[in-house]
Amino acid sequence: MIAQFKCRAIAVAMLVALTAAGAQAAEKVLRIGNILMPQSVGNPYRTTGIPNIYTWAAMYDGLTRIDEQGRVQPWLATSWRNIDPLTWRITLRPNVIFSNGAPFNAEAVLSAVAYFQTPEAMRELVARELKFLKAARKIDELTVDLITDVPTPHLPRALPLFYMTEPGQWQALGPEKFAQSPVGTGPFTLERADVTGWKMRAFKQSWRAPKVDKLNWIVAPEAATRVQAVLANQMDIALNLGPDEVNAIEMGGGKGMHWRNASVWAINFHTNKDTPLKDARVRQAINYAVDREGLVQGLLEGATAPATQAAPPTAYGYDTSIPPIPYDPQTAKKLLAEAGYPNGFKFVVQAVVGSGPADGAVYQKVAQDLSVIGITMEIRQFPVSELLRNAVDGAWDGDAFGMTYSTEPTIDVVRAIQSHSCLWVKPWYCDERIMPAIRKAMTTFDEAEGLKARHEVMQFYRKEYAALFLYDLPRFAGMRANVTGFQELHGFINLDRIDLN
């Protein structure tokens, strides 16, 4: 009997072990390769832009989203209306909980707005972008008034950035400790974060519950490394690739995708420095010297179109009357001579290479085109972390740098201009002549007048050639054949919809 009991006990133990192993093996683990992870870890207010907002979409939700047609759609807010020029009444989505079980309600909105008013929040880029928020007033558990210090007709378009953090955790820990133990309403929760990547677990009670059990973000700065990881089944999705890398994944049996972001890729000039770039004729000459069509077709496989202005066609306020920028090296030489530089000059561009499709080759092609008119463009590489830091503190080493005119996530031309104007904390381009139109675009509730002001801004930036406007930024991703449901829209990836079949 004892022997039989032991045999049965062993059999049961083996069955339990096999069942546990089977359950573990059945877990779906989604592995995404990215060039970096946010240095602020789980603090969603510290930075904006790609690739940071890719990860915010895993843990957090804003109050609104913008759809493919550029229209504002409900998200954690189900409706909104203007009460008076300084007040918006927001109705919140019911039956939503945070990953620690706390209910999502008006307290979360009040907590975030209150934090934005503190001196500590001045280092948060999201707080700066939402600096028009003055206060919030609770009407009931699911209704709150947002009060602005100036008329803000575009407020609903800005609310995708207004991520909701669980107020109890935020107030108990403070921003720095909260970042290590973040709590949001999104489909995943953070388990571990280090230099190699992040490990996340599904939050099954999320209002947008995920289809997979775990999400692993893998840091791989080199595009070639991400490609090899997909081909070796060590990664399911590789972000921030170029057309050549996508082709390699497709040849290996995987899938490739490309789409256009609501951004314009540009080389930005430091017009506050005493260089030839202060002269609008020089900036125009640089724009005329670059063969954009050849660049798009030769390096990006026609996946996008040359830029005509400081915003993409999908953005609200884009001016369709502005013609293409001509490729005209002869006129470019004449403009240089008129500006007093018949023999050209040299300038330094600081460049992040590896964060955008074929960006290293793009810089080389631009330098080659400029050399034809006598301009030497020295390409000085630096990391994306330094780019972000310099944008805030203004400690640039070069005369120009590569960065987008990004309208994401608001898909409004004003979003890009806020960064590339006198409104920025340490502006690289600032021309007070256009500031009245910018402020009017940001504050008038008259839709016709607001659109007119936006067109005036687009025309001014084009006439002054505020930057070397290159092309509407395309994005490429490669993935294994079994990945379904992947879509990136205005910087957001709906991670809850991705599945592994």
pLDDT value at 5 more than 60: no
What span, in angstroms and rounded, lies between the C-alpha atoms of 289 and 233?
44
Lowest mean pLDDT across 66-75, 90-99, 247-256: 66-75
83 token code pair: 């009460």
Examine residue 4 and state whether it is found in any structural domain, yes or no.
no
Reported as a single tens digit per residue, the pLDDT across 13-59 is 444 444 444 444 589 999 999 988 988 899 999 988 777 888 999 99
Lowest mean pLDDT across 85-94, 123-132, 191-200, 333-342: 123-132
Choosing from 162, 180, 198, the residue where a domain stops is: 180
Same domain, 109 and 214: no
Radius of gyration of the chain (CA): 25
pLDDT value at 310 more than 80: yes
Per-residue pLDDT, 52: 83
pLDDT band at 129 (very low <50, low <70, confident <90, very high): confident
Per-residue pLDDT, 123: 86
CATH number of the domain to which 122 belongs: 3.90.76.10
C-alpha closest to that of 116 among 39, 45, 53: 45
Choosing from 180, 199, 221, the residue where a domain stops is: 180
Mean pLDDT of 372-397: 92
Same domain, 89 and 130: yes
pLDDT band at 10 (very low <50, low <70, confident <90, very high): very low
Lowest mean pLDDT across 5-14, 211-220, 352-361, 486-495: 5-14
Same domain, 272 and 171: no
Examine residue 111 and state whether it is found in any structural domain, yes or no.
yes
Same domain, 452 and 336: yes
What span, in angstroms and rounded, lies between the C-alpha atoms of 348 and 235?
37
pLDDT value at 213 more than 50: yes
Neighbours of 172 (CB within 10 A): 11
Reported as a single tens digit per residue, the pLDDT across 475-488 is 999 999 999 999 99
Examine residue 91 and state whether it is found in any structural domain, yes or no.
yes
Per-residue pLDDT, 25: 55
Say if residues 454 and 157 touch (Cβ distance below 8 Å).
no
Examine residue 427 and state whether it is found in any structural domain, yes or no.
yes
Per-residue pLDDT, 107: 98
Examine residue 55 and state whether it is found in any structural domain, yes or no.
no
Same domain, 244 and 264: no
Say if residues 420 and 391 touch (Cβ distance below 8 Å).
no
Cβ neighbors of 262 (< 8 A, separation 6 or more) are: 70, 312, 314, 315, 406, 407, 408, 411, 490
Maximum CA pair distance of the chain?
105
Per-residue pLDDT, 18: 40
Examine residue 241 and state whether it is found in any structural domain, yes or no.
yes
Examine residue 9 and state whether it is found in any structural domain, yes or no.
no
Mean pLDDT of 247-271: 95
Domain that holds residue 93: 61-180
Per-residue pLDDT, 20: 46
In the chain, the percentage of residues whose pLDDT exceeds 90 is 83
Choosing from 129, 148, 180, the residue where a domain stops is: 180
Examine residue 5 and state whether it is found in any structural domain, yes or no.
no
Per-residue pLDDT, 178: 97
Same domain, 313 and 461: yes
User: What are the CA-CA distances from residue 392 to residues 129, 224, 313, 425 (Å)?
Assistant: 13, 31, 28, 7
CATH number of the domain to which 456 belongs: 3.10.105.10
Same domain, 191 and 176: no
Same domain, 163 and 73: yes
Domain total in the chain: 3
Same domain, 283 and 223: no
Q: What is the pTM of this model?
A: 0.84
Mean pLDDT of 223-249: 95
230-234 CB contacts, 8 Å cutoff, 24+ apart:
230/33, 230/254, 230/478, 230/479, 230/480, 233/480, 234/31
Same domain, 334 and 201: no
DSSP annotation of 98? -
Same domain, 375 and 490: no
pLDDT value at 194 more than 50: yes
Same domain, 250 and 311: no
Reported as a single tens digit per residue, the pLDDT across 422-443 is 999 899 999 999 999 999 999 9
CATH number of the domain to which 250 belongs: 3.40.190.10
